[in-house]
Amino acid sequence: MPRYAFKVEYHGAPFAGWQRQVDQPSVQGALEAALARLEDDVPSIAAAGRTDAGVHATAQVAHADTARDWDPFRLMEAVNYHLKPAPVAVVACARVADDWHARFSAVGRRYLYRVVSRRAPLVHDKGLAWWVRHPLDAGAMQAGADRLLGQHDFTTFRSVQCQAKSPVKTLDRLVVEVDGDEVRFHVEARSFLHNQVRSFVGTLERVGRGAWSPDDVTAALEARERAACGPVAPPEGLYLVGVVYPEDPFG
């Protein structure tokens, strides 16, 4: 069976997350339903990562095996036709090797978290960013973010529902960028724990508003205790923006 990789964009608000749910809408379910309109028996889709309810993506990657040998462009067009009106789109499609895997072949993931800091409520970005009403000190947040770089036991920043075998991960990049009243957190690692990025952002937001110092971030990390974490940032500001492979399947 030919194997195809898909780069997928979606608005997470209507979904209970990426993973297929029995009684709730999911991104995986929407894609599998679209593929089922094209072929009678398509195995389940595998993705590079399972995003939570309300989390968005501009470059999620998934793969599926098909019975037919499709032209990748025509397959993308057909899937997108049957995805309507769900807020999901395949933005690229490529034929890949039979042993290529969206999750296990990946060597890195990139996330973006958007915060808008202003008094006025969000209008165009409602549901697409975390709205905070107080000023944020980006320099202080970057100083706190720097304490998290490298390999650590990230138990403090791990959901109690996390199923990862180990809390030890290596954080490669956590950069705080300011553009007007928007603060963007760029986060990169080979892999992440459940709720890790949102836990980082919620903790650093406390630093930005002056409730914590960068030293408090270090203390929270070293505590290796979930209770030491700051509040978890809401899902609507989080985007999966890239999955890294030894060779880009989409060229």
The catalytic site residues sit at 52
**N-terminal to C-terminal alpha carbon distance within the chain:** 22
**Number of residues that make up the chain:** 251
Cα separation of 113 and 51, whole Å? 13
For residue 24, what are the contacts with CB-CB under 8 A and spacing of at least 6? 15, 16
* Total H helices, total E strands in the chain: 5, 10
The alpha carbon of 58 is separated from its chain's Cα centroid by a whole number of angstroms, namely 9
Question: Reduced to 3 states, what is the DSSP secondary structure of residue 109?
Answer: strand
Does the bond joining 167 to the residue before it have cis omega, within 30 degrees of 0? no
